[in-house]
Structure 1
Amino acid sequence: MTNSPELETQLELKTLRVRRRGPVLTIELNTPDQGNAVTDAMLEDLQSVLDRQEPHIQVVVLAGAGQDFCLGGDRTEYTEHLGLDPGGSGIRASGHRARRVCDSLTGNPAVTIARIQGKAIGAGLALALACDLRVSTDTATFRLPELALGLPTAWGGLLPRLLSEVGAARARELILTGRSFDAEEALSLSLLQKVAPAPQLDSAVEAWVKPIIRRPATALRVTKAMLNSYAAAARLTDSSTLDPELMAAALIETRQVHRLSD
Structure 2
Amino acid sequence: MNAPQSLPHATGPTSSTFRTLRTGRRGPVLDIELHDPDQGNAVTEAMLDELLAILGTPEPGVRVIVLSGAGEDFCLGGDRTEYADSLAHDPTGGGIRASATKGRLVCEALSGNTAVTIAKVHGKAIGAGLGLALACDLRVGSDTASFRLPELALGLPTAWGGLLPRLLNEIGAARVRELVLTGRSFDAHEALSLSVLQKVVPEAQLDDAIAAWARPVVRRPEGALRVTKTLLNSYTASTRLADTSALDAELMAAVVAGTHYAHHHGTVHHM
Report the TM-score when normalising by structure 2. Answer: 0.93
Whichever residue aligns with residue 2 of structure 1, its letter is: A
2:45 is equivalent to residue 37 of structure 1: no
2:2 is equivalent to residue 2 of structure 1: no
Could you tell me how far 1:157 is from its partner in structure 2?
Answer: 0.5
Q: Which has the larger radius of gyration?
A: 2
Q: Determine helix, strand or coil for the equivalent of 1:2.
A: coil
What is the aligned-residue RMSD (CA, Å)? 1.3
Q: Which of these residues, 182, 186, 190, is aligned with residue 191 of structure 2?
A: 186
2-structure distance, mates of 1:56, 1:160: 31
Q: Determine helix, strand or coil for the equivalent of 2:192.
A: helix
Whichever residue aligns with residue 198 of structure 1, its letter is: E
Q: Note the 1:93-104 alignment, pairs <5 A.
A: 93-104=98-109
Q: Determine helix, strand or coil for the equivalent of 1:13.
A: coil
Q: For structure 1, which runs of at least 5 residues remain unmatched after alignment?
A: none
2-structure distance, mates of 1:136, 1:248: 32
Q: For structure 2, which runs of at least 5 residues remain unmatched after alignment?
A: 1-8, 267-271
Q: Which of these residues, 218, 221, 225, is aligned with residue 216 of structure 1?
A: 221
Report the TM-score when normalising by structure 1. Answer: 0.96
2:142 is equivalent to residue 137 of structure 1: yes
Contact in 1 for aligned 2:91/2:261 (Cα 8 Å): no
Q: Between Structure 1 and Structure 2, how many residues are aligned? A: 259
Q: Note the 1:119-138 alignment, pairs <5 A.
A: 119-138=124-143
Moved more, 63-72 or 245-254: 245-254
Percent of matched pairs sharing the same residue: 65
Could you tell me how far 1:52 is from its partner in structure 2?
Answer: 2.2
1-structure distance, mates of 2:130, 2:261: 28
Could you tell me how far 1:216 is from its partner in structure 2?
Answer: 1.2
Could you tell me how far 1:255 is from its partner in structure 2?
Answer: 1.1
The structure richer in helix per residue is: 1
Whichever residue aligns with residue 218 of structure 1, its letter is: G
Q: Note the 1:13-52 alignment, pairs <5 A.
A: 13-52=18-57
Whichever residue aligns with residue 104 of structure 2, its letter is: R
Could you tell me how far 1:235 is from its partner in structure 2?
Answer: 1.3
Which residue number corresponds to residue 54 of structure 1?
A: 59
1-structure distance, mates of 2:146, 2:76: 11
Cα deviations by residue, 1:159-191 (Å, 9 ceiling, x for unpaired): 000000000000000000000000000000011
